Amino acid sequence: MLDVREIYAEPAAALSPRGREIIGRFPGARLIEVASHWNIPHLHGNEGNVDRWVRVKRSTLVLGVRKSLPVRPNGRSADWIAPGASNGCAMACAYCYVPRRKGYANPITVFTNVDAIAGAVHRHLTALGPKPEPNQCDPEAWVYDIGENGDCSVDALISENTADLIRAFREWPTAKASFATKFVNRELLELDPRGRTRVRFSVMPPGDSRLLDVRTSPVADRIAAAGDFLAAGYEVHFNLSPVVVRPGWEADWAELLRELDEVLPAAVKARAAAEVIMLTHNRELHEVNLGWHPRAEEVLWRPEAQQAKRSENGAVNVRYRDDLKRAAVARLTELIAAHAPWLRVRYAF
């Protein structure tokens, strides 16, 4: 996944204990000082081709100090979105929204002040008090998504940030961390999360995944890991996402659900829940993808089936038309009931 050759670092990040640890992990990497982790023009943006992006994602890290530490309300996947300890990803899913601010060639930026991030979450949690009533996010705990702009399992290959957050949450009985992942990192099994971290393995039909989930762990490996993560003390949920509506999608999702039913241990099934997330796309990403992965766009970009919708951050996205989306969610819910009736759907979006 990573073969780090260059580390761009803000001076304060390079001098911090976490920064020094990371630099020490990659002794062969060249250290390059930058004024701001946000603005490294030849690294970010959409210039070049995907070979270059993948090379950059594999060989380059950025270290920065996170300045703002907002905890944002969510209410769907989690109650709250924690300030992330990273931004960017070494994988390259064709539908990914994470690069929207830096451009597609967006390697991982690691924030070296994870203590400040954990502190901000703890202050927020303390001010909230216990969760007053159950909701679909969790019956008892306030759920904080700790991986909105990256993949915490890959981040754990680089630094102790993911481990530090998991260890922090295990001390907070009214909270739970949550992150989605497409990468199986078995080092996470050693962290003893004591039920206070929810891992959401993202799954989709393997054919879609081979086309769209560039550089991720195979879907079968993610499913095979679920039992081990549960046994290691994680709560294990699934993201059925993104659901890409294309000819034959129903049969392929039915097969995936049957596989989940056959392969998952009974203990996983007894506790599992799922988020169903229909594909969101946007024109800018469509145009970027046409340059490097046009086959992905044959299934992702379907103007006759999609409508524009302004997202919370002001971007104009496209989502499936309301009628089509309603019908697809209803159909997938039927398929779940038929093939994996133990899988509680927390929400469908």
Residues that bind ligand SF4 (CB under 6 A): 89, 91-93, 96, 98, 150-151, 182, 216
Smallest gap, in angstroms, from Cβ of residue 152 to ligand SF4?
A: 10
Radius of gyration of the chain from its Cα atoms, rounded to whole angstroms:
20
Residue closer to ligand SF4 by CB (options 1, 324) is 1
Minimum Å gap between C-beta 202 and ligand SF4 is 7
**Packing angle between helix 249-263 and helix 219-231, nearest 10 degrees?**
30
| Cβ proximity to ligand SF4, 45 vs 233, nearer residue | 45
Closer by beta carbon to ligand SF4, 53 or else 142: 53
CB burial of 199-237 (b: ≥16 within 10 Å; e: otherwise) equals bbbbbbbbebbebbbbbbbebeebbebbbbbbebbbbbb
CA distance 335 to 276: 12
> Residue 216 Cβ, how far from ligand SF4 at the closest point, in Å?
6
Nearest alpha-carbon partner for 96 in 85, 105, 83? 105
Please state the closest distance from residue 108 (CB atom) to ligand SF4, in A: 9
Given the complex with ligand SF4, which of 197 and 216 has the nearer CB atom? 216
Q: Which is nearer to ligand SF4, 91 or 125 (by Cβ)? A: 91
Whether the CB-CB separation of 81 and 201 falls below 8 Å is answered with no
Between CA 175 and CA 128 the distance in angstroms is 10
Q: How far is the CB of 56 from ligand SF4 (least distance, A)?
A: 13
Identify the bridge partners of residue 60 per DSSP, sorted by sequence position.
Answer: 6
> What is the nearest approach in angstroms of ligand SF4 to the Cβ of residue 104?
10
**18 vs 182 by CB, closer to ligand SF4:** 182
Question: Which secondary structure element, helix H or strand E, spans residue 331, and what is its range?
Answer: helix 322-339
